[in-house]
């Protein structure tokens, strides 16, 4: 019922972007956890890199732009935000850093095929999934 009172398109696109982002990062985590143990399958490293570049990064952009769109339409002031909005902003900003670093390591893994790079991609993508789950929990429960 609460979502019904919100602007439809910004919320829809924000949630869609977030869902695609979670799916892409989960796919990368699965590819990385599988791929670094099998260095004879370079297609897994390529798939992880291209998934980050063509799916996860655009989904992040859609999610973040629409989050700002909702924020401005709802009339929140930056000094008196609810806790869940603060958690969402921290997760989004820290998440961008994690996403860019993970993409860089995925590129390194794709170019060299080194298992270490695959392990780093697996760890970073798993860490990002935990961060996304925390943000999801905070936003759905409206903490604070």
The pLDDT assigned to 104 comes to: 98
Residue 1 pLDDT > 60 = no
Residue 142 pLDDT > 60 = yes
Q: Report DSSP state, residue 53.
A: I
The 10s digit of each residue's pLDDT in 44-88 is: 999 999 999 999 999 999 999 999 998 888 877 667 788 888 899
What distance in Å separates the CA atoms of residue 111 and residue 75, rounded to the nearest whole number? 46
The pLDDT assigned to 82 comes to: 85
The 10s digit of each residue's pLDDT in 5-42 is: 668 899 999 999 999 999 999 999 999 999 988 877 89
The 10s digit of each residue's pLDDT in 89-140 is: 999 999 999 999 999 999 999 999 999 999 999 999 999 999 999 999 998 8
So where are the chain's domains?
26-73+92-144
Residue 43 pLDDT > 60 = yes
Q: Which of 99, 100, 139, 129 is nearest to 33 (CA)?
A: 129
């Amino acid at each position: 019922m609460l979502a019904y009172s919100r602007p439809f398109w910004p919320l829809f696109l924000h949630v869609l972007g977030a869902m695609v982002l979670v799916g892409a990062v989960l796919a990368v985590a699965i590819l990385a956890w599988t791929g670094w143990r099998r260095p004879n399958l370079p297609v897994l490293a390529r798939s992880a890199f291209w998934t980050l570049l063509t799916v996860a990064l655009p989904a992040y952009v859609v999610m973040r732009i629409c989050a700002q769109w909702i924020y401005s339409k709802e009339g929140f002031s930056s000094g008196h935000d609810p806790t869940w909005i603060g958690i969402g902003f921290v997760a989004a900003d820290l998440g961008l850093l994690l996403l860019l670093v993970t993409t860089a390591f995925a590129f390194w893994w794709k170019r060299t095929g080194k298992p270490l790079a695959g392990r780093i991609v697996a760890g970073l993508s798993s860490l990002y999934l935990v961060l996304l789950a925390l943000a999801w929990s905070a936003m759905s429960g409206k903490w604070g």
